[in-house]
Structure 1
Amino acid sequence: MGEFSMATHPYQNYYLKVKPALICKAEELSMLGLGAVTEDDIWIYLVQKKWKRPSPEIHLYQLVSDILSISGSQFMTFMTIEAYRGPDLLGKLSQEEMKELLHG
């Protein structure tokens, strides 16, 4: 998903604390048929979409709530947009895989 550095976000110090929730959500999304989703994929989605404007007074329970409330459609939309932006990923997908990505 591009040249994104996870270490640059203000919430990075929470990463290890919320990792179990990230893993749980990644497994859930994978079970919904979204392919091999990792906890880093979920983190990147949150940093680039939900946490664009970090709050200095954020609480751990709010981060966990954000993680667990991600829907499959929200995540899939993000991944599809990233696929359009990232020619490296598009070049690796077959036409059949691209149809599956776009049309479920």
Structure 2
Amino acid sequence: MDTHPYDHFLEEVKEVLRSKLEEFKLFDYDQVTEEELWNFLMKKKWRKPKEDIHIYEIVKDIFSLKVSDFIAFAQVEHLRMDDIFSEAGALELKELLKK
């Protein structure tokens, strides 16, 4: 996996990630992991990294994250992973088109 310019902040903000995951649990999203949350931030929030970012900005981004933004991103990623051109996917698509 490619490294992200903010990867060196991960260890310093683990407690912040855990705190955000506690918030997710309040909304019954208790299956989300630290890794998934971090990957979301890297792929979506920080896809255009700033050169001179400070740790307080990283923390602010984590705390300002909305559960709904993460869930929407996760759903799109899940759809991208589904291969409709596989044999099972093709059969499922065929069934859907019959209706």
TM-score by length of 1: 0.74
Q: For residues 70 and 48 of structure 1, what CA distance do their matches in structure 2 show?
A: 13
What residue in structure 2 maps to residue 17 of structure 1?
A: 12
Q: How many residues align?
A: 84
Counterpart of 1:70 (choices 61, 65, 72) is 65
What pairs with 1:1-104 in structure 2 (closer than 5 Å)? 5=1, 8-87=3-82
Bigger helix share: 1
Is the CA contact (8 Å cut-off) linking 1:27 and 1:37 kept in structure 2? no
Q: Deviations over 1:2-50 (max 9, x none)?
A: xxx3x61010111000111111112211221224111111100000000
- Listed as ranges, the gaps of 5+ residues in structure 2 are 89-99
Which residue type is aligned with residue 51 of structure 1? W
Moved over 6 A (4+): none
Is the CA contact (8 Å cut-off) linking 1:26 and 1:37 kept in structure 2? yes
Q: For residues 86 and 31 of structure 1, what CA distance do their matches in structure 2 show?
A: 28
Is the CA contact (8 Å cut-off) linking 2:40 and 2:73 kept in structure 1? yes
- Listed as ranges, the gaps of 5+ residues in structure 1 are 92-104
SS of residue paired to 1:77? helix
Which residue type is aligned with residue 64 of structure 2? S
Q: For residues 27 and 34 of structure 2, what CA distance do their matches in structure 1 show?
A: 15
